[in-house]
Amino acid sequence: MARQWIATRWGGPEDWELVEREVAAPGPGEVTIRVRAAGVNPADYKHVSSPRPGLELPVAIGYEVAGVLSAVGPDTEIGSGAAAVGDAVVAFRIQGGYADEVTVPAKDVFAKPERIPDEEAANLLLAGTTAAQMLHTVGARAGETILVHGASGAVGVMILQQAGELGVHVVGTASEASFARVRRFGGVPVLYGDGLADRARAAAHGPIVAALDTVGTDEAIDVSLELVPDRSRIVTIVAAARADQEGFAAVFGAQPESQAYRDSVRASLLELAGSGRLQVPIARTYPLDEAPEALRFLAEGHPGGKIALLP
């Protein structure tokens, strides 16, 4: 038996239940992971806050974990190749990661680089693949300067680091309290609020050619439209209505093309993290049975890093 958090009705984490379930034995193309850390993301509660097409209750919560293989299905390899019981792994785009143990498709499981702690590994791929897709969508290239709204957040920090790998300069909006984090990961911080466009121009290495929005405020969108003449080089992960209205891109994990791209970069992001070139700041960890408290802390905003549940 294993404990697992599930949503039995639409609503917030306070409505979820921590239940005991039999863990299904893995069949061909599946593995079972004993979870050492589960990543905590806004999508975990947003996706079950109200009915969604194709999603039926009950819903097992959690999209990414780090752990150890406790069983491997017949004739099965994981996403990174051969695997055996006892191997340390990372899994992303799974269902039900808020658990002691979970059986998942083997294609979504990868060997965990030894140097990455479990709580960091469990928080790498959702934010990391989102950042990678945003940079890909705007076609960021070496020597260019881009604007990132929300540069100190989880996705923002991933954008900063991956932009640095590409040789792209980043001006990043943040609160003054978060300036040090933006600088730590290679960005030039600017304070959001009145006058943002002028401050961004002054901080930039030449013209700002693209804008990546992780916050969704009208200010973020208005400033992006003011500074970036080519709307094909503006992307948001939150302001879908403004994107439709203004003719720029909005990307979300549920889109088939987003899933395909994000899946394609999982191995390369793990390689970057394994070499120490991609870091995941951790703000706090919680026991598995305190998942609602962890999500309340996340929902308060500006946690200062990622959050992990430790079974």
pLDDT tens, position by position, 75-133: 999 999 999 999 999 999 999 999 999 999 999 999 999 999 999 999 999 999 999 99
H helix intervals, the chain: 42-46, 118-121, 125-138, 154-166, 179-184, 196-203, 218-227, 240-246, 256-264, 266-274, 291-299
Domain boundaries, the chain: 2-123+280-309, 127-250
Q: What is the pLDDT of residue 4?
A: 98
Average pLDDT over residues 279-302: 94
> What confidence category does residue 193 fall into, taking pLDDT thresholds of 50, 70 and 90?
very high
Give, as one character, the DSSP assignment of residue 152: T
Q: What is the pLDDT of residue 243?
A: 98
Average pLDDT over residues 51-79: 96
Of 270, 280, 286, 288, which is closest to residue 101 (Cα–Cα)?
288
pLDDT at residue 302 is higher than 80: no
Percent of the chain with pLDDT over 70: 100
Q: What is the pLDDT of residue 301?
A: 72
Q: What is the pLDDT of residue 300?
A: 84
pTM of the full predicted structure? 0.96
CATH fit for domain 2-123+280-309, picks 3.30.70.980, 3.40.50.2000, 3.40.50.150, 3.90.180.10:
3.90.180.10
pLDDT at residue 58 is higher than 90: yes
Rounded CA separation 32/83 (Å):
12
Average pLDDT over residues 14-32: 97
Of 269, 267, 271, 266, which is closest to residue 253 (Cα–Cα)?
266
> What confidence category does residue 205 fall into, taking pLDDT thresholds of 50, 70 and 90?
confident
Rounded CA separation 278/160 (Å):
10
Q: What is the pLDDT of residue 165?
A: 98
pLDDT at residue 293 is higher than 80: yes
- Name every residue whose Cβ is closer than 8 Å to that of residue 274 and which is 6 or more positions away in sequence: 113, 114, 115, 116
Average pLDDT over residues 39-55: 93
pLDDT at residue 208 is higher than 90: yes
> What confidence category does residue 268 fall into, taking pLDDT thresholds of 50, 70 and 90?
very high
Average pLDDT over residues 284-303: 92
Rounded CA separation 261/130 (Å):
9
pLDDT digits (tens, 9 = 90+) for 254-266: 899 999 999 999 9
Average pLDDT over residues 167-184: 97
Average pLDDT over residues 252-279: 96
Tell me if the domain spanning 127-250 has CATH number 3.40.50.720: yes
pLDDT at residue 271 is higher than 80: yes
pLDDT at residue 54 is higher than 90: no
pLDDT at residue 297 is higher than 90: yes
Report the DSSP beta bridge partners of residue 148. Answer: 172, 212
Of 65, 53, 48, which is closest to residue 13 (Cα–Cα)?
48
> What confidence category does residue 207 fall into, taking pLDDT thresholds of 50, 70 and 90?
very high
